[in-house]
């Protein structure tokens, strides 16, 4: 079985930082194409950041320069470092890992349970 367990969410002040972690277990490789999505109340779920097996990254326009996606293959863990947080970043953040080493982020895969990030003004 495959499981993605997220952690690191919480309440922070505007301008603060958080690091989200997504620990993968079971027959899944965090080195596959993976990423983070978020969904705010009343809004569509959107891609925040993605990383391919080759290490190339892609970020949503609203988070470029502030968020950084990374991974530790030895720990089978995906990370999202969030800095200069804004109230508009408030959302539930979801980890996603695809089943393929080379695939788009929307390829078949798995979702984490989601972790709440709340940024106060």
> What pLDDT tens digit does each residue of the chain (121 aa) get?
899 999 999 999 999 999 999 999 998 888 999 999 999 999 999 999 999 999 999 999 999 999 999 999 999 999 999 999 999 999 999 999 999 988 999 999 999 999 999 999 9
Q: What is the pLDDT of residues 105-117, one digit of tens each?
A: 999 999 999 999 9
DSSP calls for 33-54: SEEEEEE-TTS--EEEEEE-TT
C-alpha to C-alpha distance for 118 and 69, rounded to whole angstroms:
19
């Amino acid at each position: 079985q495959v499981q993605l367990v997220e952690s690191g969410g919480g309440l922070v002040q505007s301008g603060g930082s958080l690091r989200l972690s997504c620990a993968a277990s079971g027959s899944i490789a965090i080195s596959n194409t993976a990423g983070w999505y978020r969904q705010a109340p009343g809004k569509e779920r959107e891609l925040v950041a993605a990383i391919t097996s080759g290490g190339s990254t892609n970020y949503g326009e609203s988070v470029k320069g502030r968020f950084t996606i990374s991974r530790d293959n030895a720990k089978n863990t995906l990370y999202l470092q969030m800095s200069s947080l804004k109230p508009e970043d408030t959302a539930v953040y979801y980890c996603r890992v695809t089943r393929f080493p080379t695939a788009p982020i929307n390829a078949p895969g798995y979702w984490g349970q989601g972790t709440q990030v709340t940024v106060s003004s």
